Each structure stands twice: as structure tokens, then as C-alpha cells.
Copies of this chain bind each other. A is one copy, B any other.
Amino acid sequence: MSSPKDLSTLPTPPACIADFCIIPIGTGSASVSKEVAEVQRLLRGCGLVVSMHSAGSTVEGSWDDVMKVIGQCHSLLHGNGVVRIQNDIRVGTRTDKKQTSREKVEKVEMLLREGE
């Protein structure tokens, strides 16, 4: 009842914030910093809003653009010889308002100051 007849024509969301933690498997090295740097370099050239923290990389844009560039990160690492990759993507979408990742943090920090 609540679903459209042909779900295959549903669009993907116009905006999302995705935070991902990409893990190369089988490289023989316990370090992942080289791969994370390559991912960051690709992200910073992709035209979307990106940032980095100790547990992942964050990218903002349309669902299709964001997922395309994350997939390209996989291909980049595979092209450099990583045979297997596991990735954890936290992705959020909302229809009530636009909010950047920076605004999310600022709102929490404002609440923390108010509570002091």
C-alpha cells in the first residue's frame, strides 16, 4: 500500500554524509597508513567535501557521487595490489533539513558549552 508499484525507478538520495573505514586484507603489513593516505588523496581531488579522523574518512555529497568515489577508493587500492578490502561505511540521509558534518559537530559542542 505504502510502496510505489515499481520500486526499481526510485531515485537515490540527493544528499548524504558517509564515514568509512577501509581495511586492506592480505597485504602482509600491519600498517594501513599508506592505503589511507592514497584514499585521502583520491578523495581530496574528487570535488566533494571530505575530512579525515583517526577512525575513518568522511565525504559529503549526493548518494551516487559519494558511493562512486568510495568504490573508486576500492579500485585504487586493488590497482595497487591489495587483493581484498573490507570497508565499514556509516551513511546518513535526512529529509528534514540540510546539515553538514561540520554543523553536526558544532551543534554538539554548543550543547556541551551550554551544559557547563
Contacts and interface: CB of A to CB of B under 8 A. Distances in A.
Interface of A: 2-4, 7-8, 10-13, 16-17, 19, 21, 23-34, 36-38, 40-42, 45-46, 51-56, 58, 63-64, 67-68, 71-72, 74-76, 78-80, 83-96, 101-102, 104-105, 107-108, 111-112, 115
- For the complex, would chain A's binding face be called helix, strand, loop or mixed by DSSP majority? mixed
Contact of A33 (B33, B53, B64, B107): B107
Contacts of A76: 3, 7, 10
A35 B24 CA distance: 16
B96 A30 contact: yes
A89 B102 CA distance: 21
